[in-house]
Structure 1
Amino acid sequence: MLPGLSIAMMQRHLTEGTWMVIRVGVVGCGWFGRAHCRTYKTLSGVELAAVADRNKQKALEAARDYSCRAYSSLEEMLKREKLDAVSIAVTPQMLTRVAIEAAREGVGILLEKPLATSLSEYEELYKVVKKAGCMLMPGFIELFNPAYRALKNAIRCEIGELYLLSSKRIGWNPKREVKWEVGVIHDLAIHDIYLFRDICGEPSKISCRAGYILNSKFEDIAVITMEFPSGVLGIIETNWLTPTGERTLRATGSKGSAEVDFLAQSLDIKFRERTVKPHIRREEPLRVELQAFVDGIRRGEADLNEEDGLSVWKILQQAIDAARERL
């Protein structure tokens, strides 16, 4: 059986002659769940069949806006719809619970970050996914940012031997209003953790200092340092307190440096005598990511899978534990 499609789904597509049409549902009708809906409507060979949200009014509004059916639970949606895949974009404390329910039904899953609220929670999901044989793709959206792809090319071809990765991911915290029960490491630092891992592999050492300014339970500020077997040092600065947002990553090498601005989708490659600004064709990272997810469902194998999620969560948990040791 292909990991992306269950046997029942494969038989349905063959019987109905709809092999190229992937039927998807979206769980969670907040702003990002709605972004998934909007994006799926632009992909060829994809049918947005339904949405689900515990707040039925939100589900009805999304269904009206994106011409699909509305449900108040994933269970009801899966029972009534013949879905190949779901995007799960609910609050962090609900992510694993909803994903386990979907995995047990054998549908492909695009799971938004932070995937879980703890390593043990993610490991429970991991076991269910392995047993079910379904496809789980972590929502590591910055990997699909065209500016990041340009940065990786600069690291490979332009700046020489890599010495240092340093990132800044800061901005005011909007998550308090929607009661996200996690800190800034789960929300923002996870992006740079999976990016650093993509560039350098698994770190050999992780340390973290955090601040609890507006909340004694969840960190508002964190500085994470990572050391890699290659000798590369990684530094992640993140906070929920800065009034304006910044999403940047700089790679420093023996010949020069390259700095990406994820929001502007721009890259500056700096040498002693000059600065190069390569042209980057702007693309919406979410659209690139969801296209990759759908392509993975079709071929039965995603570019990212539950193993990547597990590796990232092991790093994330070490950073969280290191921060809390200092309380």
Structure 2
Amino acid sequence: MNPRIKVVSTGKYVPEDILTNKDLEQIVETSDEWIQTRTGIIERRIAKTEKNIDLAYKAALDAITKSNYDKEKIDLIVVATMSNDNRNPSIANLVQARLGLNDKQIMAFDINAACTGFVYALEIASNLLVTGKFKTALVIGSEKMSQIIDYTDRNTCILFGDGAGAMIIEGTNEPKNEVYFYSDSKGDTEDILYASRYLKMDGKKVYQFAVQMIPVAINKVLEYAKLEIDDIDGIIFHQANKRIIDHVVKIMKIDIDKVFINIDKYGNTSAASIPIALSEYKDTQKTSKKVLLVGFGGGFTWGSAIIDI
């Protein structure tokens, strides 16, 4: 049976400092026109003094504050990230502490599925809620990508930014709140997209991978849900590259008015991109919407979800 969850609230946080394409012109050999034409990015946020935990905590606090939610109900915290400041402890553990929840029983852990991370984390949390052991999950995608970016490498430094998005979900028995997931992966044996000290990427091959797998992820989750693309109110892609989104929209004949895009403001924030976009999208809606999320990233990983928000 597919899990049934209620989306209680969403939230986001992005740092105040902005790094524009014009700023990057002073750092590497590039131009504002070149970046915008090939990626759709105009600027991105950079956490100069804040750590990844700060971003995650502030996004969580935004979700809690928006709905005036009793944080004491939270008994599960899952954070998707590939840029933890430390090997250990997990960001989820530190969010628990920052929220003042150390005196109660909570399961808290991080996962790393790169840019697909939030979709994976949401699926894990949703299925844990189904067991009945947990009542409320705080799911976060948080990245400080600037600390794993080489700002002499124009292939990567123009793309990535920092930020975090969060979602509070509860288990429910309501059939209308049934959610659907599709997830998949394969090992990147060619080092097309990887991060050790710095993130490295073969942009051309990543593009080819993305435009191949995104339609698969969309069609699979629609098949699981027994829905057509016209049944979906909003579509939120991982905000990696506007050319990728435009290509998929064109070949799948998707109504562009259903697609939410904010890559121009934040760049690629990896696991944070979908929850940041979802939070902004939800803030513009006055009624419940059926939303399709689709992500892809290093590993390789890809996945999709259909939820009601």
**TM-score normalised over the length of structure 1:** 0.28
Larger C-alpha radius of gyration, 1 or 2?
Answer: 1
Larger relative contact order (Cα-Cα within 8 Å, sequence gap ≥ 6) = 2
**TM-score normalised over the length of structure 2:** 0.29
